[in-house]
């Protein structure tokens, strides 16, 4: 009779509960890893969006200061970096009449360091880690033919392979409004190039 009562019992043994906890833990760890990967991807997309908006903002400022842009006042043989935010600008153009070259310097500083040039923080580009901006003429010493922007920054590492994304504005030629490339390599900074006509 005792054996009949033991067989009639239903319930979970300690081993079954332990197996269920292990399976549930593995599932929850997988979800946590997915959440972390999603956050990294979201932050990387935000960095790319900030860089894109900053470059287009600078392009519009260059079009407003066209003579200085054609003269090459915005271009530099070395990239602009966040280190420029630590140095005071010679003339602030918010409250003073400036030359077109001084306006170009102020525009670049505003893009790199933010519009509040006294604090040197909050720039759209310097919010991204390891950012640098190189501006050059598509034809050396003749910026009237076009401008090239190269923005690089370090993004959070994802396990992705090399790749590039190309987006063409218009037909993608220099006569069109712009061409836009983003190159990714998990071992190197992200590089975004933009070619545009003034």
Domain presence at residue 16: no
Give SS3 for 22. Answer: helix
73 by Cβ neighbours in 10 Å (0-12 / 13-18 / 19+) ranks as buried
Domain presence at residue 13: no
Give the per-residue pLDDT at 28.
93
- Which residues, 6 or more positions from 47, have their beta carbon under 8 angstroms from its beta carbon? 127, 128, 153, 155, 190
Q: Which domain holds residue 112?
A: 21-196
Within 10 Å of residue 54's Cβ, how many Cβ atoms?
23
Domain presence at residue 10: no
* pTM strictly above 0.75: no
Q: Highest mean pLDDT range out of 111-120, 162-171, 172-181, 185-194?
A: 185-194
* DSSP secondary structure letters along 135-173: EEEEETTEEEEEEEEEEEEE----S---EEEEEEETTSS
Domain presence at residue 7: no
**pLDDT exceeds cutoff 90 at 196:** no
Percent of the chain topping pLDDT 70: 70
Total domains in the chain come to: 1
Residue 52: band (very low, low, confident or very high) from pLDDT cuts 50, 70, 90: confident
Domain presence at residue 11: no
- Name the more confident of 156 and 81: 81
- Name the more confident of 10 and 192: 192
Q: How much is the mean pLDDT over the chain?
A: 76
Give the per-residue pLDDT at 173.
44
Domain presence at residue 15: no
Q: Which of 163, 139, 138, 76 is nearest to 111 (CA)?
A: 76
């Amino acid at each position: 009779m005792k054996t009949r009562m033991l067989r009639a019992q239903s319930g979970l043994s300690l081993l079954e509960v332990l197996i269920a906890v292990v399976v549930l833990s593995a599932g929850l760890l997988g979800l946590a890893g997915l959440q972390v990967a999603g956050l990294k991807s979201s932050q990387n997309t935000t960095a790319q969006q900030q860089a894109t908006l900053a470059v287009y903002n600078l392009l519009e400022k260059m079009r407003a200061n066209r003579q200085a842009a054609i003269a090459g006042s915005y271009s530099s043989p070395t990239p602009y970096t966040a280190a420029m935010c630590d140095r005071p600008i010679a003339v602030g153009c918010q409250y003073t009449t400036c030359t077109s070259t001084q306006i170009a310097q102020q525009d670049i500083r505003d893009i790199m360091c933010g519009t509040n040039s006294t604090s040197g923080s909050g720039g759209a580009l310097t919010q991204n880690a390891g950012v640098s901006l190189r501006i050059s003429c598509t034809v050396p010493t003749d910026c009237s033919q076009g401008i090239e922007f190269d923005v690089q920054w370090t993004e959070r590492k994802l396990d992705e392979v090399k790749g590039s994304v190309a987006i063409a504005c218009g037909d993608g030629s220099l006569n069109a409004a712009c061409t836009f490339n983003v190159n990714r390599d998990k071992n190197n900074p992200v590089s975004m190039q933009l070619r545009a006509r003034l």
